[in-house]
Amino acid sequence: MWQAFCAEQMHRNGMGRRTFRLDEAWLPDTISCKDKGTMRNTAKVHIIRSQYSMAEIRDKRRAQQSKDHDASVQSLFGLFLDDLRNHPPFNKPSIVAGLILDAHWDCKSEVTLGHAALGGASGHTALGIFGSHLLHAWPSSIEDIVPSLLDNTKTDTRYVANDANESGTWWKAANIGMGAMV
């Protein structure tokens, strides 16, 4: 979806149908729920185990939207960069869209822990990071795109975040999450 969106925006602005390329490998493709197990050149997802503990990742002082945010504590962006530096192929020039899989909605303090929507660069790495707290609303296959963008399920803040108080339904959560990730 992100590649198609970028291609359409480039085209609308007179730059042709251009987009970015994903790291690919010959793998079982997951674009369609109907083609389970079909081998194709498909986007390769790298899962990296952090050297940091869950408590460090979910430290409220690191949460982007927390009132307790503390700039003197190393940011989630910094933690993510530290982890990338030790893992090929990210130890050479890279552009990375990083998803923090350990994000957690803390309904008592009303803050998403282990989340930041930030982008920037450090050395040879360009990085954008985002927490996983809105994944419940994202489409999991091409067949799920339309249903997820029409899903009027109300966001129940006992369990999941209403990010920036703008994702009161799941279709909004999908849009806000995917837009911020891009």
pLDDT in tens, 84-135: 988 888 988 989 999 999 999 999 999 999 998 889 998 899 999 999 999 9
Residue 37 pLDDT class (50, 70, 90 cuts): confident
Between residues 55 and 29, the one the model is more confident about: 55
Total residue length of the chain: 182
> Quick check: 127 and 80 in contact, CB under 8 A?
yes
Question: In the chain, where are the structural domains located?
Answer: 134-182
d(CA 42, CA 135): 20
User: What was the pLDDT predicted at 17?
Assistant: 86
Q: Distance (Å, rounded) from C-alpha 182 to C-alpha 176?
A: 10
pTM recorded for the entire structure: 0.86
* Tokens coding 89: 């192929």
Which tokens in the block code for residue 129?
């990071």
